[in-house]
Structure 1
């Protein structure tokens, strides 16, 4: 069972025991996919090891940590410490419009094996700009490249009610500031973070999951996320602002919750949408399931970006007075 780990600024969906990365978005951990698909993703007669890149660029925050590891054989219990790679040379470039490097940021190894940190802690990631990561190794032949174009910064601009009745006919709406497009369409993921995730406060759907699944606990759902929401599921207003109906399935606990709106780039959208098929979100037969989409040259993984904003409200039981 996947556990959701949440820091003050970013949430990454991971297996128990895998570390956090700073930011505001939940994405599904690559570690899980690598265990499931390290052999199946590639047509081959024997196991072949791949380098795995994991980094999430967050608008208006410092440059991200970079996690480098290798795939493990199918059936092997995953441990980032066992898979982590040392000896990497990592740099991130802020590109000019023509593709040349405007600024280069060098990285150094951290105290944790396989984790690399930017030497410049002062740079804040710019919206609507392209960042390129370049990686080679002192002790391996692989050379990795990937690019992400960051979304525009977003803001939730409507006044949120202090209390929202769960599954009320008047569904909660979020109005998001007008955005300058950096991709074909805006894509959002929303997640909800419970302040006090107690089992007795679970909403009915999640309460059923906890009661029926032996390896599932209430704490597993204290940070829940929606599937990606694109232009077919929100309204663009005359002034360019965007109105989104917040889906009730994103609410796991009654009580005080933080609601996060995340605008994601194409790389994250590709990974999330393809992993939904891998993890059962499709009626395709096993032989027809497509590979995960990684957008990484020379390896697999994710170098993606997003922008976020947060509001807070209280989700009230319908029967509460």
Structure 2
């Protein structure tokens, strides 16, 4: 099997959602505003080149957003409403305060419900709901989100949580920038039922400063806030080398590093819902080299939500810290 790094497909994102760029799910920051307008934005883009067809009247839809991380407590689920693309999103206005929200753990090998949890909104106007007790997410189990909104019907979505995995060596290592081969890390196989593992790699600088910029990042000219966090596109585990013990080798590309000093690499093995959402949104945003699709050919975002829009997905995370020193010969 050929060796691969993600350098050739690397793209750079800010650490919070800005304009229409895709955010990282690595630190569970809210992306409600981003998901909130995706459906309407995609539809407007698809019709922008059609002069002979009037766009249909705007129809409000319910938007859900929630993530389950294997081995971690269930987080917030946000329930909101769509709005036309020319209007400004206001969480205080668009949040749904009166929804009935439930998360169900499905039975193994079937569609029956093993147990369920009703969620509540500590601040109803926000539309953000959580469980009353701490509920840890089980790996390799299927969950269903059920949201009932008065006058708007029922919204549902299901996710199967990836298996837990880890870095084999958790010791903080030190590398010299752009010296010899790129850093090599080993992880245990991030298993997902029915297909090869798909994952995202996020690098977060823990010492971001203009004096710590690598030559590549310095040449880009972005601000420190934007460069602090970088995110790869979805990567297929089948393309990476394996060790005799069955581990997976991740060769870290220098192009993914913006700052010298202490950095953290987070790998998220993602479910089908997150994978389809990220890759279909990337097509809408122009992909790696700009879209070649005509305006009327832009496909819709794939969201796996019935009765509404949004994203209810899951992932498993492994992280490791490493330090990078400037290369005295560069």
Tell whether the 8 Å contact from 2:177 to 2:254 is kept in structure 1 after alignment: yes
TM-score, normalised by the number of residues in structure 1: 0.85
Residue in structure 1 matched with residue 133 of structure 2 by the alignment? 120
Tell whether the 8 Å contact from 1:198 to 1:219 is kept in structure 2 after alignment: no
- Rounded to whole Å, the distance in 2 between the matches of 1:79 and 1:217 is 27
Cα deviation per residue 1:80-111 (whole Å; 9 max; x = unaligned)?
Answer: 23321111100101111211111111100122
Residue in structure 2 matched with residue 107 of structure 1 by the alignment? 119
* Match for residue 286 of structure 1 among 284, 289, 295: 295
How far off its partner does 1:320 sit?
Answer: 7.0
Tell whether the 8 Å contact from 2:69 to 2:316 is kept in structure 1 after alignment: yes
How far off its partner does 1:178 sit?
Answer: 3.0
TM-score, normalised by the number of residues in structure 2: 0.83
User: Are residue 189 (structure 1) and residue 200 (structure 2) matched?
Assistant: yes
Cα deviation per residue 1:265-305 (whole Å; 9 max; x = unaligned)?
Answer: 11111111111111111332332221111011011111000
Residue in structure 1 matched with residue 317 of structure 2 by the alignment? 308
The 1:33–1:88 alpha-carbon spacing in structure 2 relative to 1, beyond 3 Å, is closer
Q: Which runs of 5+ in 2 are unaligned?
A: 1-12, 48-54
- Rounded to whole Å, the distance in 2 between the matches of 1:320 and 1:312 is 24
How far off its partner does 1:77 sit?
Answer: 2.4
Q: Structure 1 residue runs of 4+, over 6 Å off?
A: none
Alignment of 1:169-188 (within 5 A): 169-188=180-199
SS in 2 for 1:283: coil
* Match for residue 241 of structure 1 among 240, 247, 255: 247
User: Are residue 230 (structure 1) and residue 241 (structure 2) matched?
Assistant: no
Residue in structure 2 matched with residue 131 of structure 1 by the alignment? 143
After superposing the two structures, state which structure 1 stretch, 276-285 or 198-207, moved more.
198-207
Q: Which runs of 5+ in 1 are unaligned?
A: 5-12
SS in 2 for 1:45: coil
The 1:236–1:27 alpha-carbon spacing in structure 2 relative to 1, beyond 3 Å, is farther
How far off its partner does 1:37 sit?
Answer: 4.8
Alignment of 1:1-321 (within 5 A): 3-4=14-15, 13-15=16-18, 24=26, 29=31, 31-32=33-34, 34-35=36-37, 37-41=39-43, 45-97=56-108, 98-111=110-123, 113-121=126-134, 123-138=135-150, 140-158=151-169, 162-209=173-220, 211=221, 217-281=223-287, 282-319=291-328
- Rounded to whole Å, the distance in 1 between the matches of 2:329 and 2:206 is 19
The 1:37–1:271 alpha-carbon spacing in structure 2 relative to 1, beyond 3 Å, is same
SS in 1 for 2:316: strand
The count of residues paired between Structure 1 and Structure 2 equals 302
Tell whether the 8 Å contact from 2:26 to 2:202 is kept in structure 1 after alignment: no
Q: CA RMSD in A?
A: 2.7
How far off its partner does 1:36 sit?
Answer: 5.7
> Who wins on radius of gyration, i.e. which is larger?
2
How far off its partner does 1:160 sit?
Answer: 5.1
